[in-house]
Structure 1
Amino acid sequence: MLVRKGWTTKVFSSLALLATLATTLVTADEHSHKYTELEEVVVWANSVGPFSNRQETYEYFQLPYCKGEGKVEHRHETLGEALLGMELVNSGISIRFGQSKAVTPICSRRLLTPQDVKTFSYAVAHDYWFQYFIDDLPVWGMVGTRDKETEQVSLYTHQNFEFEYNGDQIISAKVTPGQPVPLISSQAGLNVDFTYSVIWKSTDKEFKSRFERYLDSDFFENKIHWFSIFNSLMMVLFLTGFVSAMWIRHLRRDFARYDKEAGLNDFDHDLGDDYGWKQIHGDVFRPPVNPMTFAAFVGTGHHLAWTSFFVILYTIFGQEWTERASIMTATIFIYALTSMISGYSSGSQYAQYGGRDWVRVMFLTAAFWPASVAIVTSLNNTIAIYYTSSRAIPFGTVMALLFIWLCIVLPLTLVGTILGKNWAGKADFPCRVHPIPRPIPEKIWYAEPIVVIALGGILPFASIFIEIYFLFTSFWSYKVYYVYGFGLLVFCIVMLVTASVTVVSTYFVINTEDYRWHWMSMATCGSTAAYVYIYAVYYFMQKTKMYGLFQTSFYFGNTALACMAIFLILGSVGHYAANKFIMRIYRNVKLD
């Protein structure tokens, strides 16, 4: 604890006393992960839901489970937990640290009504499972079992908890359901005993290794993953070599030809080769179509790119994948605290091309991505409410997000826009813009922007294809993605690939005397998002067993948001590289 100078000795002593008392009284809990002998270990019930539909979750006690004795309380949720539908409730199962138990009733004998039997039967027939959190360790178990031949469903009525501990810390936790009881819908009532047992085992495993059992190293660190990284690195070397060769060979030849033409007299100049990118020097810095929207796209893309970079770094150094919903919470606050980036980028981009309505571009930039997320989330939330799912976002969480946008995102975007238009908004173009636009000549079919855009997204998609598969498997299936070092490397690779491909494509287009390079440079590698979405459709149909309106809407809605983010990130990076390229080559040419 740091104490400022100037505080009185009395205040200092009081704070020291309070700290000492807090340390003495709070010696063991699930926050410190240290327990005393026979201290209560809370079993937090999180959710139930169908095994094939990971996002379709419901509150644990929506199934008529038996509640243990004692007060059943809700645990305080973080912002990320609320957004991910985590609602932890004390199950009432009495477990004490280090105390093994034989078969023990969770509560008194329970009479299941015909409706309860019907509810459990539906859950078992649809392969429902439940999730607990014990000392922040997730544990899972099936609700029941189904005979594939007779279609008879049976409810598991016993839960066997197995713990490993080292000293005063829990290293692992596991629950194994058992004692199936057949469920018959025609029964007037069914008496069941919900029971549990506890086994504690000592181990010499270290506390820091407690999450290793959840990690599938054979899946994420196999030869295919390493080969994919190596292949992407080779692609980067090839592309950077190609761009360098273009600079050395083609551009030097162009500079030499233009310098030669500049030395000719008017008659000889008319007989020269009048073609190439120099001919559009009076139009190449013409403002893009709909400059306000374009500026908002560029600013949002830069913002999302830096947010992604910082989140990956935060996760690598903080090991935040081990904490419940911490990555979601961190992403929200990193996005909010870096909002100045979007304002600065969009404000400078808009001002450079003569834009004056900077207030509107600021609001558009600040609201575009949050509004897109809000629209998709609202549709999904409506479906979640209809299904009474725990994935429905509470009203208080919505208000908290709105507060973050109003009090952090909007003011920082305003500051960034003002700085961008004042510090970097001056048009420093090497060529003046002609008042009358030059007609764009006809060109061969493969030089059309739409073709260049369609082909431009292939190489970036190829560089991230394998990583996309691992991310999809992690998010939509039951794998814990933890190789964020690989993720950072792939992120850097795709940025380099995007810059290289966009520079080559831009040179190709302006060399056909087409000065519409702004939107083209954004869409060239931004088209990677379309390939990702097509792959997502294939993944949904071939690699998952998802079904129903709930999961389909969540899958395709959230995937659409991810693809939009990919478009904006790669598009803004591509435009940045193309802009630097355009500025550089026109500064090196003698103009008439």
Structure 2
Amino acid sequence: MVGIMGSSWVWLFLSLIVSQVQAFYIPGWSIKSYKDGERIPLMVNKVYSDNTQLQYAYYDLPFVCPPAGRTASGLLSGQSISLNLGEVLRGDRIKISDIDLTVGHENECRFLCDQQVTRRDLRRAKELVKDGYVVEWIVDNLPGATSFVTVDKSRKYYAAGFKLGFTKYDSSTGKPRYFLNNHHTIVIRYRAAPGRPGESGAKVVVGFEVYTKSIGPNNKRENGCPVELQDIEDNFELAMPPNKTEELSMLEQHPSNHYDHLDEGDDEDTITIPYSYSVYFREDNSIEWDKRWDLYFVNQEEGSRIHWLAIINSLIICGLLSGIVAMILSKTIRTEIKGYKEGSIEAGRKMKSAPRSLDQDKEVDDQLDDAPEDDALEDVTGWKLLHGDVFRRPQYGHLLAPLVGSGTQVLFMAFGLIFLSAVGILNPSFRGGFLSFGFGLFVLAGLSSGYFSAKVYKGFGGVNFGKNALITACFFPGLLFALVFIVNLFVWAQASSTAIPFGTLLAIALIWLCIQVPLVYLGSWYGHARTPAWENPTKTSTIARQVPQQAWYIRSLQAILFAGLVPFTVIFIELLFVFQSVWQDKSGYYYVFGFLSVVSLILIVTVAEVTVVTIYVQLCSENYHWWWQSFAVGGGSALWVFIYSIWYYFFKLHITGFISSMLFFVYSFMACCVYGLLTGTVGFLAVYVFIRKLYA
């Protein structure tokens, strides 16, 4: 029965993984080609801004053209595209649009719709334009881009998305005026498809550019399209006169006048926004299909020197620490151990050379065999005095064990994501893949979480492995889930696509409770029942040694802050790029994983070395309370990362609104918890191995 249930859970999990990776492909392998006359679907996604963390589905905006339900190439406009878990979590809401892109057919102008909007809708549009919202459309899995050139004008590059509108300041009054972009010029760049499809005339898309224009109602129109698309003098301003009946006469008398009375008048007053678009196809053989995403990163590649500087900086810090650790291990500790052993031998010789009876000789030999360390340590100080206390069980060890277990789970997930990204499996075209794979790896790593938690728990003398497994499976994931749920209560009220749908939250909870919890329990059972406990090299004495007064710089809080500053300096420069990618570019993808992989490995080594040095200094001060201290010192850099996020919020971001600020700080806190758990576990395991070798 257990085997049947286990296999059913495995099949359920595999089916979920398969459903999540439907958009997966490696660049250069899965190529979609189109023939002349074939329609390329244009999909609309969402709008987002650097000034707020609230995103909105494009078709949820009341002032854009709604889908008309037209059918083309087997697709119905307005039809939702199935999304993987990562896409849902990052706020994507992708649907088919009415815009017609037929290969080889260009349209100088095509009417889309006349959208009637109310005064309330105009206020909504004005708020979004004021906040600098950007629109994301998708063609052949490429986001619509705004084209730029580098400073030296030698290379072209793309910025994903295009502006919803723009702001101008009135020259006479100095007040801002807000305009809506209601005409879009779409340029599809293509080249011949590789291989046989290209020989038969098939083409592949290598670029998707969108150029926006704002065309006012005074521009004459034919068949819904403006006559003039080049020299546009009148833009479409997001304004409405206070009295709708006076609109026509006021426009005739003052054609250049503008109004900013959206807060006055009836909310149900309406105005018409005309939408149109142009389509052009341009052959471009300078771009290879598997290199088409490079244009989105040309401008960012200029920071490669900064990345190399960060790596050199990290290597220098890591090298200095490695030298210190090597000196401690090869010189200081070996010298002290040698003196310690010589003291033991000398003490034994003196005891044996003293005059005594045969029975006394036997008694002395037994004492030397049973407790040579006690006699030898009478004349020494520092860490050598702690052989009987260094492996004493810590307070609240039943909480430390689950944290270490969850830390190994995060460590497994992090290395898996970095590896998959570095080899190109996770790439920009796999939208949402990073989050989807991260969630899947986290769930699968429940086995390692339960195993290591059980091993540490058993080493502390714990016997109730079921309770330990339950705490391990629910404590940290439950904290993250609770924070996400509470934040979503606020975001749901804003009708934002940033909010995770309730059905998705329910699915995540079911996967957590029905798949991860059993995996944690299985790993915990194996680690507790099927493997021996970690044996310590020294026995713990009955009476605990009193810890002397500690120097100010090695006390708990100071040691955590000082030691945590060193790993923070290793990741400081790279952290700036990560924050920019997540909070400003909204790309959800960090493209320089080669650099990030190197820095991550240096970070792991640095955390281990810093924690070992810190705990060694603590042991030399005769403080044997290292269990929790090693975990806290290893995760100490998370405090500096959170402080850095506060600085970044005030000096780099321009976020407005309570909800957006709350999202930033809550998600930053969650990220720091994950990071602290990972580095804390690295520090704990490194110190445990070090102390076992030290007292062996």
Match of 2:140 among 132, 135, 139: 135
Q: Deviations 1:379-423 (Å, cap 9, x if unpaired)?
A: 221121111101111122112212221332112211111121234
Q: Separation in 2 of the partners of 1:351 and 1:132?
A: 54
Counterparts in 2 of 1:270 and 1:146: CA distance versus 1, 3 Å: closer
Residue of structure 2 in register with 1:226 after alignment: 308
Query: 1:1-45 CA distances to partner (integer Å, 9 max, x unpaired)?
Result: xxxxxxxxxxxxxxxxxxxxxxxxxxxxxx852222222222211
Name the CA distance, whole Å, in 1 between partners of 2:676 and 2:426.
28
Residue number among 315, 325, 328 corresponding to 1:243 in the alignment? 325
Secondary structure of the 2:143 match is strand
CA distance in 2 between partners of 1:441 and 1:423 (Å): 41
SS in structure 2 at match of 1:411? helix
Match of 1:201 among 278, 282, 286: 282
Contact preservation (8 Å) 2:293, 2:428 = no
CA offsets, 1:502-544, max 9 Å, x none?
1111111111111100111111121100000001111111111
More moved, 441-450 vs 205-214: 441-450
Q: State the secondary structure of the residue aligned to 1:215.
A: helix
Distance 1:569 1:136 in 2: 34
Deviation at 1:91, TM superposition (A): 2.2
Moved more, 197-206 or 395-404: 395-404
1:322 alignment partner AA: S
Residue pair 2:50, 2:653 contacting (<8 A) in 1 also: no
User: Secondary structure at the residue paired with 2:205?
Assistant: strand
Corresponding residue of 1:561: 670
Aligned partner (choices 245, 252, 255) of residue 337 of structure 2: 255
Match of 1:497 in 2: 606
Match among 212, 232, 237 for residue 177 of structure 1: 212
Aligned to 1:346: 453
Partners of 2:412 and 2:441 within 8 A in 1: no
Take 1:250 and 1:211, find their aligned partners in 2: how far apart are those partners?
Answer: 54
Contact 2:186 2:278 in 1 (8 A): yes
- Matched with 1:110 is 115
* Alpha-carbon spacing, 1:236–1:311, altered in 2? closer, same or farther (3 Å): same
- Structure-1 residue corresponding to 2:470: 363
Letter paired with 2:555 = E
Aligned mates of 1:556, 1:517 — CA distance in 2? 31
Q: Deviations over 1:294-340 (max 9, x none)?
A: 00111111111121011111112214232211111111111112221
1:64-463 correspondence runs (5 A)? 64-69=63-68, 70=70, 71-107=77-113, 109-139=114-144, 140-149=161-170, 150-167=175-192, 168-178=203-213, 179=215, 180-186=235-241, 188=244, 189-204=270-285, 205-216=287-298, 218-219=300-301, 221-265=303-347, 273-317=379-423, 318-463=425-570
Q: Contact 1:68/1:94 (CA < 8 Å) preserved in 2?
A: no
Task: Give the superposition deviation at 1:439.
Answer: 1.0
The amino acid that maps onto 2:63 is P
- Taking a change above 3 Å as real, the CA distance of residues 177 and 442 of structure 1, as seen in their structure-2 partners, is same
d(CA) in 1 for partners of 2:556 and 2:125?
58
Quote the Cα distance in structure 2 between the aligned partners of 1:490 and 1:217.
22
What is the alpha-carbon distance in structure 2 between the residues aligned to residue 278 and residue 366 of structure 1? 38
Q: Offset at 1:114?
A: 2.5
Identity of aligned residues (%): 27
Query: Secondary structure of 2:181's partner?
Result: strand
Provide the rounded CA distance (Å) in 2 between the counterparts of 1:122 and 1:526. 41
TM-score w.r.t. structure 1 length? 0.90
- Structure 2 distance, partners of 1:54, 1:242, is 44
Distance 2:556 2:691 in 1: 17
- Cα deviation, residue 221, structure 1: 3.9
**2:379 counterpart SS class:** coil
Secondary structure at the counterpart of residue 555 of structure 1: helix
Deviation of 1:222 (Å)? 2.9
Distance apart, 1:458 and its partner CA: 1.1
Aligned to 1:574: 683
Q: Deviation of residue 271 (structure 1)?
A: 10
Q: Which moved more, 1:339-348 or 1:119-128?
A: 119-128
How far residue 50 of structure 1 moved from its aligned partner, in angstroms, is 3.5
Give 3-state SS (helix, strand or coil) of 1:110's partner: strand
User: Partner amino acid for 1:386?
Assistant: A
Is residue 543 from structure 1 mapped to residue 543 from structure 2 by the alignment? no
Shift of 1:265: 4.1
Query: C-alpha distance in 1, partners of 2:469/2:494?
Result: 38
Q: Distance in 2 between matches of 1:270 and 1:197?
A: 90
- Give the C-alpha shift of residue 449 in structure 1: 2.9
1:162 match: secondary structure: strand
Distance 1:98 1:465 in 2: 49
RMSD: 2.1
Label 1:493 to 1:423 Cα distance change in 2 as closer, same or farther (>3 A). farther
TM-superposed deviation, 1:270? 9.1
Deviations 1:203-227, CA, capped at 9 Å, x for gaps: 1121101111111454564322211
Q: 1:423 to 1:449 in 2, by over 3 A?
A: farther
Provide the residue aligned with 1:19 in structure 2. Answer: none
The 1:464/1:50 distance shift into structure 2, 3 A limit, reads closer
Across the two proteins, how many residue pairs are aligned to each other? 557
Displacement, 1:143? 1.8
1:60 match: 59
SS at match of 1:211: helix
Secondary structure, aligned partner of 1:181: coil
Q: Secondary structure at the match of 2:310?
A: helix
Q: Deviations over 1:360-386 (max 9, x none)?
A: 111111122321221221122112111
Identify unmatched segments of 5+ residues in structure 1.
1-30, 588-592
CA distance in 2, matches of 1:132, 1:192: 20
- 2:455/2:534 contact within 8 Å kept: no
Amino acid in the other structure paired with 1:522: F
Residue 93 (structure 1) shift: 1.4
- How far apart in 1 are the matches of 2:86 and 2:377? 68
Structure 2 unpaired stretches of 5+:
1-29, 71-76, 145-160, 193-202, 216-234, 245-269, 352-374
AA matched with 1:381: N
Offset at residue 99 of structure 1 (A):
1.7
Is 1:465 the counterpart of 2:546? The answer is no
Query: Distance between the aligned counterparts of 2:490 and 2:571, measured in 1?
Result: 32
Q: Which amino acid aligns with 1:255?
A: I
Per-residue CA deviations over 1:156-193 (Å, capped at 9, x if unaligned) read: 21111011011221111011110231222336332332
SS of residue in 2 equivalent to 1:106:
strand
Q: State the AA in 1 paired with 2:131.
A: H
Amino acid at match of 1:382: L
Which is further off, 318-327 or 333-342? 318-327
Structure 2: distance between partners of 1:271 and 1:410:
48
